[in-house]
Amino acid sequence: MKHIINVLVENKPGVLARISGLFSARGFNIESLAVGETENPDTSRMTLVVEGDDRILEQVTKQLHKLIDVIKVADFVGEKPITRELLLVKVSLTKGTKPQILQIVNSFPEARIADVGEKTITIEIVGEEDRIKTILDLLRPLGLKTLSRTGRIALPRGSK
Protein backbone atom coordinates (compact mmCIF):
# COMPACT_ATOMS: atom_id res chain seq x y z
CA MET A 1 0.00 0.00 0.00
CA LYS A 2 1.09 3.57 -0.65
CA HIS A 3 1.83 5.58 2.48
CA ILE A 4 2.12 9.34 2.86
CA ILE A 5 4.30 10.04 5.89
CA ASN A 6 4.92 13.47 7.37
CA VAL A 7 8.03 13.84 9.48
CA LEU A 8 8.74 16.93 11.54
CA VAL A 9 12.50 17.21 12.04
CA GLU A 10 15.26 19.44 13.33
CA ASN A 11 16.43 21.74 10.53
CA LYS A 12 20.03 20.47 10.62
CA PRO A 13 22.57 18.86 8.29
CA GLY A 14 22.52 15.10 8.14
CA VAL A 15 18.88 14.64 9.08
CA LEU A 16 17.77 13.75 5.57
CA ALA A 17 20.48 11.08 5.34
CA ARG A 18 19.32 9.52 8.63
CA ILE A 19 15.77 9.33 7.40
CA SER A 20 16.45 8.10 3.89
CA GLY A 21 18.85 5.54 5.38
CA LEU A 22 16.03 3.79 7.21
CA PHE A 23 14.26 3.22 3.90
CA SER A 24 17.27 2.42 1.73
CA ALA A 25 18.58 -0.12 4.28
CA ARG A 26 15.41 -2.13 3.63
CA GLY A 27 15.57 -1.67 -0.12
CA PHE A 28 12.50 0.56 -0.15
CA ASN A 29 12.28 3.15 -2.87
CA ILE A 30 11.08 6.56 -1.75
CA GLU A 31 8.62 7.57 -4.45
CA SER A 32 8.77 11.21 -3.54
CA LEU A 33 10.22 13.40 -0.85
CA ALA A 34 9.58 17.06 -0.20
CA VAL A 35 11.38 19.03 2.49
CA GLY A 36 11.10 22.60 3.65
CA GLU A 37 11.18 24.87 6.65
CA THR A 38 8.00 25.16 8.67
CA GLU A 39 6.53 28.15 10.50
CA ASN A 40 9.48 27.66 12.88
CA PRO A 41 12.86 28.04 11.10
CA ASP A 42 14.46 25.48 13.47
CA THR A 43 12.07 22.85 12.17
CA SER A 44 11.56 21.27 8.77
CA ARG A 45 8.70 19.18 7.54
CA MET A 46 9.31 16.26 5.22
CA THR A 47 6.61 14.51 3.29
CA LEU A 48 7.54 11.07 2.06
CA VAL A 49 5.50 8.92 -0.26
CA VAL A 50 6.51 5.27 -0.01
CA GLU A 51 5.07 2.05 -1.30
CA GLY A 52 5.61 -1.03 0.83
CA ASP A 53 4.35 -3.74 3.13
CA ASP A 54 2.18 -2.20 5.86
CA ARG A 55 3.85 -4.03 8.75
CA ILE A 56 7.33 -3.14 7.62
CA LEU A 57 6.29 0.48 7.13
CA GLU A 58 4.80 0.55 10.62
CA GLN A 59 8.18 -0.63 11.87
CA VAL A 60 9.97 2.03 9.82
CA THR A 61 7.64 4.68 11.24
CA LYS A 62 8.53 3.59 14.77
CA GLN A 63 12.20 3.70 13.90
CA LEU A 64 11.82 7.16 12.38
CA HIS A 65 10.41 8.23 15.70
CA LYS A 66 13.48 6.83 17.44
CA LEU A 67 15.83 9.16 15.55
CA ILE A 68 16.96 11.91 17.89
CA ASP A 69 16.43 14.62 15.26
CA VAL A 70 12.86 13.55 14.55
CA ILE A 71 10.24 15.45 16.51
CA LYS A 72 7.02 13.97 15.18
CA VAL A 73 5.92 11.34 12.69
CA ALA A 74 2.47 11.04 11.13
CA ASP A 75 1.54 8.27 8.70
CA PHE A 76 -1.72 9.30 7.00
CA VAL A 77 -2.86 5.71 6.69
CA GLY A 78 -6.66 5.43 6.47
CA GLU A 79 -7.00 9.23 6.22
CA LYS A 80 -7.35 11.58 3.29
CA PRO A 81 -5.02 14.48 3.97
CA ILE A 82 -4.83 17.60 1.79
CA THR A 83 -2.06 16.92 -0.68
CA ARG A 84 -0.51 19.07 -3.38
CA GLU A 85 2.29 18.66 -5.83
CA LEU A 86 3.87 21.13 -8.24
CA LEU A 87 4.97 20.04 -11.71
CA LEU A 88 6.74 21.81 -14.55
CA VAL A 89 6.04 20.17 -17.89
CA LYS A 90 7.65 21.06 -21.20
CA VAL A 91 5.52 20.14 -24.21
CA SER A 92 6.50 20.44 -27.90
CA LEU A 93 4.89 23.33 -29.61
CA THR A 94 3.72 23.07 -33.21
CA LYS A 95 1.06 24.94 -35.10
CA GLY A 96 -1.10 21.88 -34.98
CA THR A 97 -0.86 21.19 -31.25
CA LYS A 98 -1.03 24.74 -29.90
CA PRO A 99 -4.82 25.01 -29.74
CA GLN A 100 -5.13 21.63 -28.08
CA ILE A 101 -2.54 22.51 -25.45
CA LEU A 102 -4.23 25.81 -24.69
CA GLN A 103 -7.57 24.08 -24.42
CA ILE A 104 -6.24 21.61 -21.86
CA VAL A 105 -4.63 24.39 -19.83
CA ASN A 106 -7.83 26.40 -19.88
CA SER A 107 -10.04 23.48 -18.86
CA PHE A 108 -8.08 22.69 -15.69
CA PRO A 109 -7.71 25.29 -12.94
CA GLU A 110 -4.65 23.29 -11.74
CA ALA A 111 -2.70 24.18 -14.89
CA ARG A 112 -1.28 27.43 -16.20
CA ILE A 113 1.34 28.49 -18.66
CA ALA A 114 4.70 29.26 -17.10
CA ASP A 115 6.77 29.98 -20.18
CA VAL A 116 6.46 29.93 -23.97
CA GLY A 117 9.41 29.33 -26.27
CA GLU A 118 9.77 28.87 -29.99
CA LYS A 119 9.46 25.12 -29.96
CA THR A 120 8.13 24.34 -26.51
CA ILE A 121 5.64 25.52 -23.99
CA THR A 122 6.16 25.04 -20.25
CA ILE A 123 3.10 24.37 -18.17
CA GLU A 124 2.95 24.55 -14.41
CA ILE A 125 0.50 22.22 -12.65
CA VAL A 126 -0.40 22.37 -8.96
CA GLY A 127 -2.88 19.91 -7.59
CA GLU A 128 -3.81 16.53 -6.24
CA GLU A 129 -2.52 13.26 -7.59
CA ASP A 130 -5.49 12.14 -9.72
CA ARG A 131 -6.02 15.56 -11.35
CA ILE A 132 -2.32 15.75 -12.20
CA LYS A 133 -2.52 12.31 -13.73
CA THR A 134 -5.49 13.30 -15.91
CA ILE A 135 -3.70 16.40 -17.24
CA LEU A 136 -0.49 14.48 -17.94
CA ASP A 137 -2.45 11.77 -19.78
CA LEU A 138 -3.92 14.45 -22.03
CA LEU A 139 -0.61 16.21 -22.65
CA ARG A 140 1.48 13.10 -23.26
CA PRO A 141 0.27 12.38 -26.84
CA LEU A 142 0.95 16.00 -27.78
CA GLY A 143 4.69 15.58 -27.21
CA LEU A 144 5.61 15.73 -23.54
CA LYS A 145 9.35 16.42 -23.53
CA THR A 146 10.50 17.13 -19.99
CA LEU A 147 8.83 16.64 -16.64
CA SER A 148 9.98 17.85 -13.24
CA ARG A 149 7.95 17.38 -10.05
CA THR A 150 8.41 18.42 -6.44
CA GLY A 151 6.85 15.42 -4.78
CA ARG A 152 3.74 15.66 -2.71
CA ILE A 153 3.32 17.71 0.41
CA ALA A 154 0.51 16.96 2.82
CA LEU A 155 -1.30 18.35 5.83
CA PRO A 156 -4.25 16.90 7.71
CA ARG A 157 -7.70 18.30 6.96
CA GLY A 158 -9.61 20.60 9.31
CA SER A 159 -8.03 22.20 12.35
CA LYS A 160 -5.82 19.21 13.29
Partner 1 sequence: MAKMIGAKILVESLIREKVEVIFGISGGAILPVFDVLYDAPIRFILTRHEQGAAHMADGYARATGRVGVCMATSGPGATNLTTGIATAHMDSIPIVAITGQVPTYLVGNDAFQEADVTGITRPITKHNFLVKDVKDLARTVKEAFHIASTGRPGPVLIDLPKDVQIKETEAEFPREVEIRGYKPTYFGHPGQIKKAVQMISKATRPVIYAGGGVIISGASKELIQLVEKTSIPVATTLMALGAFPENSPLSLGMLGMHGTEYANYAIMDCDLIIAIGARFDDRVTGSLDKFAPEAKIIHIDIDPSAIAKNVQVDIPIVGDVKNVLRELNKIVKKPAISGWLKQIGEWKKNHPLTYKRNGKLKPQYVVEKIYEVTKGEAIIATEVGQNQMWAAQYYQYTKPRTFLSSGGLGTMGYGFPASIGAKVGCPDRMVFDIAGDGSFQMNIQELATCVHNKIPVKVAIMNNGYLGLVRQWQELFYKKRYSAVSLAGNPDFVKVAEAYGAVGIKVEKEEEVVPALKKAISIDKPVVLDFLIEPEENVFPMVPAGAPLTEMLRGLA
Distance of closest approach, residue 70 Cβ to partner 1, in angstroms: 5
CB nearer partner 1, residue 75 or residue 85: 75
Enclosing H/E stretch for 48: strand 43-51
In a 10 Å sphere around its CB, with 0-12 CB exposed, 13-18 middle and 19+ buried, how is residue 71 labelled? middle
18 is a site residue for partner 1 (CB under 8 A): yes
- Using CB under 8 A, pick the residue from 38, 59, 92, 146 that binds partner 1: 59
Q: Name every residue whose Cβ is closer than 8 Å to that of residue 134 and which is 6 or more positions away in sequence.
A: 108
**Which residues lie across from 47 on neighbouring strands?**
6, 34
Binding to partner 1 by residue 11, rule CB under 8 A?
Answer: no
39 binds partner 1, rule: CB under 8 A: no
Contact residues for partner 1 (CB under 8 A)?
9-10, 13-14, 17-18, 21, 25, 58-59, 62-63, 65-71
